[in-house]
Chains A and B, each alone.
Chain A
Amino acid sequence: MNGTSVIDVGRPAVRRRTLSRSLRGGLKGGEYTWAVAFVVPYIAVFLTFVAYPVVYGLWMGSEASLYRELFADPIYQTTVVNTILYLALGVNVKMFLALLLSGFFMRPGWWMKALLLIFVLPWAVPQISTFISIHWMLNGEWGFLNNVIYTLFHVEGPSWLNDRWSALGAVIVSHIWKWTPFWTLILLAGRMAIPLEISDSAKVDGATGMRGFVHITFPLLANLYLICTLLSTIFLLGDFNAVNFVSGGGPANQGHVLATLGIRNAFDIAQPRLGVAAVMSALPLVIPLVIVLMRKLRTSEVQI
């Protein structure tokens, strides 16, 4: 005996075993090797295409002077207002319409299914070509819309994309038109997941029509609705296509959002760091959104 207790000698060995076991997650021998083999490509892709670009972007937009230059640019100030409006109207109007339409498409009947098929077409067709079509439809001289107005009423329609607010409005409407079907389908799936017993017993208690929606359907959909709204906000913040192909950020750079301004700064005026800074300036909004989204997803996991 050298004076060391049996417990003391055994402690590090137990720790090593515990650490090794937790790393292996209960897998043994060849199972562990296979698990590592399956995970390595994912980690490599994650590091190459997620971690590296994000860190590189943070590094490119890390100089304080970039943000001084950016904030002093009047185009940036206009862009921030446009982005806020695009998010507020684009997300909320679209989600509210999707909520209403998902209720409409719950109705029974084959014709409802046929109508749903037509309804999802805007989402199913390629977005760039549709946004370019909308751009030409709104052209002041040749556009379909103004030709219809002239044919019907013999008056010249306005140049829709020449005014900041009507151009931004066109972008928002295009986005809503394009993406409402997608979110309608998600909310429709959410409605279909509500057990029939709940709505049936609510009907017995007199909760029909609007009362049934307010007291039964919406509370059960609320978490899904919130998650969809947060996700849509994050998607929309990075949306380049609708703005670029409908209004081109015009007229005279008054219609940009942060995503299109970033590209303009990086490539049109050849200042890539300023472009990254424009996009990075959205981080104070994106990070809290992602945190709230993660927390809501965890909560919904518990509820399920």
Chain B
Amino acid sequence: MQDTLRKQGERKVYGLGFQVTANGVDPYNLFMAFLLGYGGQDIVTKDGKLHLDDPKVKQAAIKATAYLGGAYRDGYVPPSAINWNDADDNNAFHAKLMVMDVDGTLSTEVAVKEKHPEWYFKDMVSHGIGYPNDNAGKPVPSIVGVTQLMIPKGAKNVPVAKEFIKYFAQPKVVGEFVELGLGRWLPVMPSLAKSPFWQDPKDPHLRGYVQQGLLGPTVPDYYVFNLAMAEVRSQHVWSMAMIDVAKEGVKPEVAIDKAFKRIEEIFSKYKKA
């Protein structure tokens, strides 16, 4: 696609909007989606144990790094992606810098729904219903991050806070809340996904999104199993591996060895704690 567009004289159009950057949460979500797609689901199991010695996990990490970093290295990702923040891939897509964006929510789509419905309904295309299967033909689960409500320890008015949470967690309230957000966020209750809003056949994005993130196979984000994974995300360990391949010409195997060493260091810190 990109090569064809370039031949047609398009000077600045790239094929892929991969967030090969060390800012924000997008690069972690992107890498983890590809890690799971390549079969690395068991990187952390439900008991909180890390499995970097599992050859399947290692191969998946190498393949994900090679693909994502390689796409940048080969010129199919905008060069500025290396400095992107979470909103920048959305901006770049709207500025027609690339043909395809990969993102964790429908933020890019719903941003234009009100002002430019023709873009939302005609020009922008979401991938069909749910994720495609992996290379072995098996369904790939989607990682679901849940936004938690919490009452801080020592809060002054705990009963009122509990009352509010009780009110807010009602399916009717949650359902209206996410629908008023035009579908940027998914509801947590699968029953809500059956509503006319999410299942609107005229909407080109919502059914696929809700199938992928809620109704299809899902796994919780891995920090649920071990908190160290949250630091792996914030330290941008996967990003550094992608960037090593993308920019420094490092082999994916070497980049992943370095990343695994860093992940082990982070996990060992949490063991001590």
Contacts and interface: CB of A to CB of B under 8 A. Distances in A.
B249 interface: no
A268 B11 CA distance: 35
Contacts of B235: 269
A140 interface: yes
B79 interface: yes
A82 to B, nearest CB: 15
Interface string B15-59: 000000111000000000000000000000000000000000000
A253 B22 CA distance: 7
A232 to B, nearest CB: 28
A251 B23 contact: no
Interface in B146-194: none
A214 interface: no
Nearest to B262: A74
B73 interface: no
Contacts, number: 51
Contacts of B243: 251-252
Interface residues of A, number: 17
A162 B83 contact: yes
Contact of B83 (A142, A248, A269, A270): A248
Contacts of A140: 78-80
B82 A252 contact: yes
Nearest to A139: B80
B253 interface: no
Interface string B77-115: 011101101000000000101000000000000000000
B231 interface: yes
A139 B82 CA distance: 11
Interface in B235-266: 235-236, 239-240, 243, 247
Chain B interface residue bracket vs A: 20 to 34
A248 B22 CA distance: 10
A252 B80 contact: no
A162 B11 CA distance: 19
B133 interface: no
B234 interface: yes
A250 B79 CA distance: 13
Contacts of A162: 79-80, 82-83, 247
A95 interface: no
B174 to A, nearest CB: 27
B76 to A, nearest CB: 14
B79 A252 contact: no
B6 interface: no
B12 interface: yes
A266 to B, nearest CB: 12
Interface in A241-257: 247-248, 250-253
Contacts of A159: 79-80, 82
Nearest to B239: A252
A251 B97 contact: no
A141 B239 contact: no
Most buried by A among B21, B23, B85: B23
Given A141-B12, A269-B231, A250 B22 contact: yes
A161 interface: yes
Q: Which 5 A-B pairs have the closest CB atoms?
A: A159-B79, A269-B234, A250-B83, A252-B22, A252-B243
Interface of B: 11-12, 21-23, 78-80, 82-83, 85, 95, 97, 231, 234-236, 239-240, 243, 247
